[in-house]
Structure 1
Amino acid sequence: MVVGDVMKDLYIFGNTDRISQEAPVPILGVKKNDLKAGGAANVALNAAALGLKVTILSIVGEDKPAEEIERILKSQSVNCIFIRCSNTQTVQKHRIISQNQQILRIDYEAGKSNEGFSGDNYLKLFSYFKKEVDSEKHKAIILSDYKKGVLAYCKRLISTAKKKSIPVFVDPKGASFSNYKYSTFLKPNLKEFERVVGSSVSRAEFNSKAVKLKNILNVDNLLITKGQSGMLLFQGKKAPLTVSAHNSKEVFDVTGAGDTVLATIVAATANNYSLVDAVKIASVSAGIAVSKFGTSSISSNELKAEIINSSGITSSLKINLKLKKNDELFENLCKRKTIKGKKELGIFFDHIKTEKKSIVFTNGCFDIIHAGHIFLLEKAKKFGDFLVVGLNSDKSVKQLKGENRPINGEKDRINVLKSIMWVDFVVVFKEKTPYKIIETICPNVLVKGGDYLPNEIIGSDLVKRNGGKIKIVPFKKGLSSTNVMKKI
């Protein structure tokens, strides 16, 4: 969940090739407008783009800019809880751009940081926040403070979240960070940090001030972002860690880069990356963000591609990222319950090897499913972790059973097998026998129904050679597809 100050960012692009006769100022010939959601809303969009389910909580005006921001957020599946305040206006920042340069910014906002906000607005904010926290559906809280008033009393929010053991990540602002005491993670940029502690004449003095601030605030982790100089992480009682800036792309615009960094760190830690790896990933995301114009979000695929293809990223992080990606692909295979082609077999084997799981294999035409088939599959599943069923293709069934078979087509037979609770995966083979598919899959256990001797079972030599086992499940008397067909 993201809580903080949302704002409307409007980019007005045009050309300035004339001077006004009214005053010695350039005339902008407007070419296009680009409306974006800024502030805490940009954090929410970045988190959503990285695959998180996001709720955003804020206080806004009863005006069109608030509606525009909400529309943008909802288009990206962000759940919006906006408390409408009639006594204030939603913050707007209009940026005038000519020849890819910002020449003017026009701000629309109240005079003081929380001018117009009432006690009732804050009570509603606390009420909604507690309800969301008590729902136990949020893995993390992000407080995005632009000092516009929404987080004027954020101590209470931090305390409420901590009681539920929900980590709180803060992007701070202001001359004092006392409001952010006891948060899990604090991320000021260099200018914000030095505004609070003062400038330093040496690295030792800088680090000493950072540790002192971290201890005074009782925050678990402090990350200071330093632009092109990278980031400095103070984690627990560990020595400070410098993370280099990732500058594979040309720096175009730094607007909103801090939002991207914090959203990426939360997304990475929510997906079980270590904090150190999360910060390294965030450095890459910042490098992508500054190559884009204005406030922007980056997708998980965009981020993964940049990390995997970059020569400046450590191999351990690449391997970790690839394993995470393979986990996602394996989950998709599990939902589909079918394995097709070498690529999907590779995903399957990578998971089996990493998780040290066992494979049970059995096969058949499964043309007319009966109680004997169910008995075989139930028994087979008990011999290992994943039951893979090799299914004869339609052409293969015809070769074995004759031109009038199968009764049920390949797709229907696959769907029936997928619906059986003991079957984990179905893989179709085109040959008359499953020998090649057994050779490819290398099961730990090969299961066959009937009264075969182990050496008579196709593929048994392959399985034994790899240290696997052969299991024979006796037929249920009188149960066969042929007998079923005769009765019909």
Structure 2
Amino acid sequence: MNWNINEIIQRFQSKIKSCRVLVIGDVMLDQYYFGEMKRISPEAPVPVVNLKEATQTLGGAANVANNLVHLGCKVSLAGVVGRDKGRDDLVEMLSFKGIDVSGIQTDDRSTTIKTRIISGNQQVLRMDQEENVELSDAGVHKFEEWFVHLLSIEKYDAIIISDYGKGFCQFELCQSVLFTAKRKEIPVIIDPKGDNWDKYRGATIVTPNLKELSDLRGKDIPNSNQAIHNYGKELRRKYDLDYLLITRSEQGMSLVGENQINDFPTLAKEVFDVSGAGDTVVSTLGAMMGMGIPVQDAVKISNIAAGIVVGKLGTYAVKDVELISKLEFLNDRRKINKIFSANNFQALLDGWRNNGERIIFTNGCFDLLHIGHATYLKNAKELGDKLIIGLNSDQSVKRLKGINRPVNHEQDRAKMLSFFEFVDAVIIFDEDTPLRLISEIRPDVLVKGGDYRAEEVVGKEYAKKVKILSFVDGYSTTSLIERITN
């Protein structure tokens, strides 16, 4: 089921505050030092940065939790930290944001801290303080006791495992979570790391980027649809995943399911910093799936959120009002931009194809719109996902109907059709028939109204399927004109 944007916005606004998500993974602290780099040190051939500002933000699994809070979810977080100031700063920031930290363990290790030095919009150095030590058996047991108790007192709508390879997300812990989640029918979204995917076996969805996919295979994978699709299908089956979502940088994302693969083009206009973009994808995905939004639509929204984040500098959490505003903007733009010429619709069509949408095409003059037209078009839309109308231009109508037709100008007719919610695009063409247009669109379903037989329909050879729909009795443009003029 593909929801329209209005339905998604309504569910977002009504359900997000009650959506409860559990985040499990490697928590860390991100530190940023901003300054100006104008000279080279006399002590060594390195740049000197004149410090202007320093900030701390939540990183890793803690950033995923932070993203969810900004979207409006209730969040619990599990991870491990050290007995140091980093731990104090991290827990204080999490608690201030209202994140449940009862699952945070303290152990004999350093709290993971990533320090970035930035001059202008350029990151010039990163320093990492970390100990990649696998969680002990005692730590796993402590987590499992906490996890079982937590699920006995609260209902969680989604679980996210954010694995940064720092040791918390070890095999027994991940499999324990997945086993319990499957029994309780809770979707589990995993942001993976490393080449041991056996611990992710049975997950709802795993979200590797292209590098992580290449690391798993042991050699570089080309960023092409064919390579991604083939290897994605193999991995999904091998690890018994419901879905595999591959983030592909400038190529967007690919969602591999059991029976279908969808490619989602990137929506980012400018990229300043990709820090935290993966966290944004999994957190948005978790929130949307937790609210019951279908996976394909949840991925589309995650793609929109990621597009917002990479246009910001540093780790950034998308706010609920910001995401809703973007969805509303896209919805309004979609309503406005429904009218195309026969030469400028290809980008729209490619986007729909990449999203796996089924294309329906029909055509006509649609001079005086009436209930027969509306019923016919609504029935046509129910045959697929996107309905395209080929609209005869004024000159085309005159050649077909006579010098006194059309009654309404082609732009007025196109606008009237675009006002129907079930119409997705109107393409004006000049020929007597839509044959050339159909050959370029190659619809999944070609719809014709009236008493035609399928083999008589113009353009049938370019469509996967032809469907004949009956017109509503008693309604026609010609009879309306006769009634008006007589």
- What's the TM-score bracket when you normalise by the shorter of the two chains? 0.5 to 0.7
Give 1:315 shift.
5.9
How far apart in 2 are the matches of 1:166 and 1:281? 20
Give 1:313 shift.
7.3
1:178 aligns with one of 189, 198, 220:
198
Q: Deviations over 1:246-273 (max 9, x none)?
A: 124x211000001001111111122232
Letter in 2 for 1:133: L
Letter in 2 for 1:98: S
Cα distance, 1:7–1:206 mapped onto 2, change above 3 Å: same
Aligned to 2:137: 119
How far apart in 1 are the matches of 2:158 and 2:333? 27
Aligned to 1:378: none
Cα distance, 1:313–1:82 mapped onto 2, change above 3 Å: farther
Letter in 1 for 2:266: A
How far apart in 1 are the matches of 2:161 and 2:117? 29
Give 1:311 shift.
7.3
Alignment partner of 1:58: what SS?
strand
Letter in 2 for 1:24: P
How far apart in 2 are the matches of 1:205 and 1:17? 44
Aligned to 2:457: none
1:130 aligns with one of 148, 151, 176:
148
Aligned to 2:283: 263
Structure 2 gaps of 5+ residues are 1-21, 337-486
How far apart in 2 are the matches of 1:206 and 1:82? 36
Aligned to 1:299: 319
Aligned to 1:215: 237
Aligned to 1:486: none
Supply the RMSD in Å over aligned alpha carbons: 1.9
Aligned to 2:355: none
2:85 aligns with one of 18, 43, 64:
64
Aligned to 1:30: 51
Cα distance, 1:313–1:125 mapped onto 2, change above 3 Å: farther
Cα distance, 1:126–1:313 mapped onto 2, change above 3 Å: farther
How far apart in 2 are the matches of 1:134 and 1:222? 29
How far apart in 2 are the matches of 1:167 and 1:311? 28
Aligned pairs for 1:394-409 (under 5 A) are none
Q: Deviations over 1:220-260 (max 9, x none)?
A: 0110011121110012x222001111124x21100000100
1:234 aligns with one of 245, 256, 260:
256
Letter in 1 for 2:113: Q
Alignment partner of 1:57: what SS?
strand
Aligned to 1:96: 117
Aligned to 1:468: none
Give 1:180 shift.
0.2
Structure 1 gaps of 5+ residues are 317-488
2:103·2:146 contact (CA, 8 Å) conserved in 1?
no
1:310 aligns with one of 324, 330, 333:
330
Aligned pairs for 1:385-400 (under 5 A) are none
Aligned to 2:39: 18
Give 1:49 shift.
0.8
Cα distance, 1:31–1:200 mapped onto 2, change above 3 Å: closer
How far apart in 2 are the matches of 1:84 and 1:212? 36
Aligned to 1:155: 175
Alignment partner of 2:235: what SS?
helix
Aligned to 1:140: 158
Aligned to 2:214: 194
The normalised TM-score by structure 2 is 0.61
2:280·2:305 contact (CA, 8 Å) conserved in 1?
yes
Letter in 2 for 1:221: Y
Kindly indicate whether structure 1 or structure 2 has the higher relative contact order, using CA contacts under 8 Å at least 6 residues apart. Answer: 2
How far apart in 1 are the matches of 2:106 and 2:99? 21
Alignment partner of 1:242: what SS?
strand
Letter in 1 for 2:77: I
Matched, 1:52 2:73: yes
Aligned pairs for 1:280-291 (under 5 A) are 280-291=300-311
How far apart in 2 are the matches of 1:310 and 1:78? 31
2:86·2:111 contact (CA, 8 Å) conserved in 1?
yes
Alignment partner of 2:74: what SS?
coil
Higher-Rg structure is 1
2:268·2:310 contact (CA, 8 Å) conserved in 1?
no
2:309·2:317 contact (CA, 8 Å) conserved in 1?
yes
Aligned to 2:464: none
Letter in 2 for 1:40: A
Q: Deviations over 1:442-481 (max 9, x none)?
A: xxxxxxxxxxxxxxxxxxxxxxxxxxxxxxxxxxxxxxxx
Q: Deviations over 1:35-72 (max 9, x none)?
A: 00100000001011111100001111112111211222
Sequence identity percentage: 38
Cα distance, 1:223–1:20 mapped onto 2, change above 3 Å: same
Give 1:134 shift.
2.7
Moved beyond 4 Å, runs of 4+: 311-316
Cα distance, 1:315–1:239 mapped onto 2, change above 3 Å: farther
Cα distance, 1:315–1:6 mapped onto 2, change above 3 Å: farther
2:80·2:107 contact (CA, 8 Å) conserved in 1?
no
1:83·1:124 contact (CA, 8 Å) conserved in 2?
no
Cα distance, 1:313–1:53 mapped onto 2, change above 3 Å: farther
